[in-house]
Amino acid sequence: MATQLPSKILIIGATGNIGKYITNAIVSAKPPIAQQISIFTSQATASNPSKQALLTSWKSQGVTVVTGDLSNADDVKKAYSGIDTVISCLGRNALLRQIELLKLAEESKDVQWFFPSEYGTDIEYDASSKDEKPHQNKLRVREFIRDNLNRVQCTYVVTGPYIDMFLPLVPVAEDAGGFDTKSKRAVVIGSGDEKIGFTTMPDVGKLVAAALRHPEASVGKVLKVQSFVTTPNSIVAEFERQTGTKWTVDHTSNQKLREVEKEKWDANSPIATLYTLKRIWAEGGTLYDKTDNEALGLKPEDMEPLSAAVNRAVNGEGY
């Protein structure tokens, strides 16, 4: 696999928030990355009216839809038959289910390459990363891979925060920062001049597709990739440029963010994770001397700019 392109790809979680971007990029890649692309999904998702347009589009492009129960080992084994590359796009709440998926991949005779769902924040950025609560499930998956996988090779595509999800100002968590296009108001962490590395959600797909196309640079690697580096103040300036309006800007200090973060975790709040991630990003946990974009054949001009993500937000396009 280290010298060969994938032949038959199976995508798990294809219709989810990030999965649809990854799947679209792989399906539409020119020239084609693989001979066969399949997605594994539940019968409920396959019959969900809200998913039909997406699934129909993929089927028209030659994608095979395999239905089954992710928690049923026989269903997974059947889906793995003939597959050499598995791409997991499972969401945060389902990350630990990957341990069984990886175990079955190692036991299979066909699967050689596995992409765990690592898109997002770097969970091994520095010595403090191991103690961050939102990282624990991904860390357990990495530990399982290190201790138990011998035949199957893995690739981690670490993208940092998705700018598309970073932008919205969440009403119940305004002090965590964000940008509200209706009120033309922004809340930024710290001074607003701190740099953050971002990836747009379409670019996550592009980066995974590039990793598949360059196995010599990606097999067995932790890839640190991103679309661009910017600051919250630069984001405000871009919103002002595109809306033609001066925005109101409020600030949350780093200390205040840490205090609220602790309060949310102490209260078992479901939005505690958001505060932790916003704090990690604001404190530089997305910055690198060099990314792996170039090793995947991607230049800065190949990636979406900040203006594209802001434009989608201004136009009310969801993700």
Q: Please give the positions annotated as active site.
A: 138
d(CA 35, CA 37): 7
Residue type, 277: L
Cβ(10)–Cβ(81) below 8 Å = no
Q: How far is CA 101 from CA 37, 43, 82, 315, in A?
A: 18, 18, 15, 39
**Displacement of CA 137 from its chain's centroid (Å):** 15
| Enclosing H/E stretch for 60 | helix 52-60
Cβ(92)–Cβ(137) below 8 Å = yes
- Ramachandran area for residue 178 (φ above 0: left; ψ -120 to 50: alpha; else beta): left
Q: How far is CA 53 from CA 10, 15, 123, in A?
A: 20, 11, 35
**Displacement of CA 71 from its chain's centroid (Å):** 22
Cβ(101)–Cβ(13) below 8 Å = no
d(CA 156, CA 224): 8
Those residues whose C-beta lies under 8 Å from the C-beta of residue 5, and which sit 6 or more positions away, are 33, 34, 212, 213, 215
Q: Is the dihedral of CA 46, 47, 52, 57 positive or negative?
A: positive
**Displacement of CA 275 from its chain's centroid (Å):** 18
